Amino acid sequence: MQTILRSDTVEVKISTEGPVVIIGEKINPTGRKKLAAALQEGNFGYIQELAAKQVVAGADVLDVNVGVPGLDEVMVLPQVVKAVVSQVNTPICLDSANPAALAAALAVTPGKPLVNSVNGEETSLRAVLPIVKDRGAAVIGLTMDEKGIPNDPESRLAIAGKILERAARIGIPTEDVVIDPLVLTVGADSNAGVVTLRTIELIRREFGVNISLGASNVSFGLPDRQTINQALLALAVGAGASCVITDPIKLTGTVRAIDLLLGRDLYARRYITHFRSRPKEND
């Protein structure tokens, strides 16, 4: 199954057959004081720099999240999207829980963006799916609902099914819904990794849709986060994930290695190209 995203000039295919599509996560002020300050001051130059660095590092798509407490997302999300698309050619992943901000940003985003996200809550389904349909966008469906994030893979699968059904009912094609099995930190619950991996297997088998996950969530609060993130990426892609929201500066090499090991990189071309072109590692 293929989910096609577009900017004005570039098409990105998320495919269940791989290779893995990388959504750069760094335009997100959670835990990043400098970015939060830049957003509050309207210093979009710093955000454009973050955009360019991620693309050079291998991001196929850029996630844009402006969630700072007190900031008007309806106003700022479209402004930041405009600043980012004037700098880079990648498709955009609009990351907000606020449907009004998503709608405002969709109106200024070129091509076919990915809306991040809808979930199984009735209020979310009713608010988000129509704007995705109207704009002909694709959408990420989170496997959570009114009762929160279930602890068992079967309940997460059921929520994925509900989201796919509701999307189909209003005319969003199944291939334009990417399911996120949700990753919680193994620092809080050592079973969290297993539940996510099992959910990926079930969704892949039951629905055959593309699966995206935010790999960095898994390591919150633990030392040497990158090692855990790398291990999760390999296991998740092995289980059937086709798209990751992650830090391309730190993790593109790992993703290229995973594709190579899964037989998706003829003559190791992409792996080698990545290491030839790699800029010096920094944030």
Contacts with ligand THG, residue ranges (CB under 6 A) = 25, 28, 30-32, 65, 95, 116-117, 140, 180, 183, 214, 216-217, 245, 247
Minimum distance of ligand THG from residue 201's CB (angstroms): 18
Nearer to ligand THG, 183 or 258 (CB): 183
Assign 3-state DSSP to the chain and report helix, strand, coil percentages, each to 5.
Answer: 50, 20, 35
Residue 110, token pair as written in the block:
């070129």
Minimum distance of ligand THG from residue 134's CB (angstroms): 21
Residue 279, token pair as written in the block:
């800029």
CB 24 within 8 A of CB 61: yes
Nearer to ligand THG, 32 or 133 (CB): 32
Minimum distance of ligand THG from residue 229's CB (angstroms): 9
Nearer to ligand THG, 88 or 182 (CB): 182
Nearer to ligand THG, 6 or 250 (CB): 250
Greatest CA separation for the chain:
50
Minimum distance of ligand THG from residue 242's CB (angstroms): 14
Nearer to ligand THG, 57 or 183 (CB): 183
Minimum distance of ligand THG from residue 220's CB (angstroms): 6
Q: 103-132 burial string, b = 16+ CB within 10 Å, else e?
A: bbbbeebebbbbbbbbbbbeebbebbbebb
Closest CA to 122 of 153, 163, 168, 155: 163
